[in-house]
Amino acid sequence: SAAEKGGYEYFMLKEIVEQPQAVADTLLGRVGVDGTLTLDEMRLAPSELRDIEKIVIIACGTSYHAGLIAKYAIEHWCRIPCEVEVASEFRYRDPILNRQTMVIAISQSGESMDTLMAVRYAREQRARVLAICNVNGSTIPRESDGVLYTHAGPEVGVAATKTFLTQLVACYLVGLYLAQARNLKFGDEINAVIEQLANMPQQVEKVLGTVGPVRELAKSLADSGTVLFLGRHVGYPVALEGALKLKELAYMHAEAFAAGELKHGPIALIEDGLPVVVVVPSREGRGVLHDKIVSNIQEIRARGARTIVIAEEGDDTVRPFADELIEIPAVPTLLQPVVSTIPMQVFACELALAKGNDVDQPRNLAKSVTVE
Ligand code: AGP
């Protein structure tokens, strides 16, 4: 009903706007004033946390993209090797798991059959399974050793929006918690990141206040045959997520590449007027990658691409090469996906609406996929 949609025409629009609150709710009660994290729901004793030798993340679709981002954060903060795999591939390739492996199953619904089967397989192999989930009491958390709920509130639109942002926050919490529990030497960096993480609801709010121009831009692209997405580092999974959203909602061909791979083939696709969305890494800490992507933007623009650039506010180096510039707040590199994903969501949603599609119920899709 209209009341359930809070005055919005579609649940998806409402769920995009709810993201600052959703992110705040994921953090609620988990970050102490002194920066100490409390994640008792992980149900792992400190000794067990210290024993973990490998992390394997399994998930599907958008949740898989959250897992890809988590890998960058967890390996950097915890120095624990971390693999990420789509759940449907996992148990069919004889993966190496044991008691010292922590498997993180990310699933909004907690009911994706592919992920559930992977969880069962992992437990049979004696791995410890932690679920990151949004639906209380759903099957995957019930069958896992521990669960971290995202508390995003019900998500009705088939496209994951607020649950993706909150999955990222939950993954960051796990990574930072493991780093704290394992007493790693770069405590200062960890504490600084925790402080910034606690500030993310405000940053998300800020992005929502500035995405207006993305709507107009999206409408102008409704007739494009294809849209490409480029990113690097944590921006690469964000590009993958941008492309998935466009396929799912606007039924358009979209593809994402790691920007460094462009020269190994995909650059041949660039032709006059082709829209290319580029996620520019934050300047903090990853200066080299930032500059490399700026030259990628120059290269594709010289070949006729229409460049749609998502970059930190005040990043003047990209301005001359951006046909369209979408500014996001400056946040630490590893947290950037929390803000850079939002323009992608709005872009896909508006493009779909411009094409007259039902964004809450895209064709051929179900909110949770309960078959393998
Ligand atoms: C996201 O927009 C999609 N609807 C889809 O890829 C989804 O993320 C995937 O099916 C996984 O669902 P889950 O998180 O409920 O397991």
Q: Bigger pLDDT: 45 or 170?
A: 170
**Residue in the block written with tokens 């930190």:** 312
Could you report the per-residue pLDDT of 267-306, keeping only the tens digit for each? 999 999 999 999 999 888 667 889 999 999 999 999 999 9
Asked if 329 and 313 touch (Cβ cutoff 8 Å), the reply is yes
Over range 306-335, report the average pLDDT.
95
User: Which residue owns the Cα nearest ligand 1 atom 4?
Assistant: 159
Which pLDDT band holds residue 342 (cuts at 50, 70, 90)? very high
d(CA 147, CA 40): 9
Could you report the per-residue pLDDT of 310-323, keeping only the tens digit for each? 999 999 999 999 99
Q: Separation of 263 CA from ligand 1 center, angstroms?
A: 31
Interface ipTM? 0.98
**CA 108 from centre of chain:** 12
User: Which atom from ligand 1 is nearest to the alpha carbon of 159?
Assistant: 2
User: DSSP string covering 186-250, please?
Assistant: -HHHHHHHHHHHHTHHHHHHHHHHH-HHHHHHHHHTTT-SEEEEEE-TTHHHHHHHHHHHHHHHH
Burial label for 271, CB within 10 Å (0-12, 13-18, 19+), is exposed
Which pLDDT band holds residue 175 (cuts at 50, 70, 90)? very high
Read off the pTM: 0.97
User: Which atom from ligand 1 is nearest to the alpha carbon of 368?
Assistant: 15
Predicted pLDDT at 249: 97
Helices 61-78 & 235-250 angle (0-180, nearest 10):
170
**Beta strands 128-133 and 82-86: pairing type?**
unpaired
d(CA 135, CA 161): 15
